[in-house]
Amino acid sequence: MILYILTEIPDREAGGNNYVRLALQAASGDLCLVARYNQVSLALLEELRPWAVCHSGGGACYDEYDILQCDGYREAALGWSGPQIGFCGGHQLLAALHGGTLGHMGPLREDDADHNPDKWPGYYKEWGMYPVRVLAPDPLFDGLGEVIRVPEYHMDEVTALPDDFILLASSARCRVQAYRHRDKPLYGTQFHPEKLVEGYPDGKRVLDNFFAIARAERAAGQECGKV
């Protein structure tokens, strides 16, 4: 079983969670359980023993969240040693919980196009398909080239990584597009590999690679008697 944690403020949820659940289920080849962040605790993870945990994105700005003050979610995200990945807002939250900083990407420049003027007008957003450059070799990007094209829907970003995180990928206007923890199987992507877009297979490959990493961690844990 894998676990998909919804990090969005409940009254801001815009739907699509079942689509993502099915996409994660197909990519992992296993049952995907869904839980909201305020239902999650380290004790719950220890009871369920998911072999992979995915943290969702959301439509709220980082400074509107109460999730960073949610003790159960914080304890789970920091204390769980199994494979985890955060998508978009989830990527930002995992970085913040580990000591990173978040911010807006900034106001629109004179020559910037606003690809979604109804959402956060006046601010620069990555909205649509964007090229992302892979900066460091990692199994998350196995089988992919130096530049991938992936879906992005965000105004906020990780402005400074925690000391124990390694930068894996960047785009022209967003430095932290992907990271991993130095010692744990913990990843984050500012882009959305869980949102499958016809004609753009790179995101799906990233998702498949994460689950391959998680399966390898599960197998290693079984050999050591930890699972």
Q: What's 171's domain CATH number? A: 3.40.50.880
What pLDDT is recorded for position 169?
98
32 in catalytic set: no
Distance separating the N- and C-terminal Cα atoms of the chain: 13
For the chain, which ranges sit under pLDDT 70? 10-16, 223-227
Measured CA to CA in angstroms, residue 206 lies from 118, 124, 136, 138 at distances of 30, 25, 14, 11
Residue 199 and residue 187 in contact, taking contact as beta carbons nearer than 8 Å: no
Bin 100: left if φ > 0, else alpha if -120 < ψ < 50, else beta: beta
Q: How many domains does the chain have?
A: 1
What pLDDT is recorded for position 14?
54
What pLDDT is recorded for position 212?
98
174 in catalytic set: no
Q: Which domain holds residue 58?
A: 2-223
Catalytic-labelled residue, pool 88, 91, 126, 152: 88
Catalytic-labelled residue, pool 8, 126, 194, 217: 194
CA distance 122 to 115: 11
Residues 6+ apart with CB under 8 A from 16: none
181 in catalytic set: no
Using DSSP's 3-state secondary structure scheme, residue 71 falls into: helix
Pairing relationship of beta strands 165-170 and 126-134 according to DSSP bridges = antiparallel
CA distance 107 to 110: 10
Catalytic-labelled residue, pool 55, 98, 154, 192: 192
CA distance 20 to 120: 24
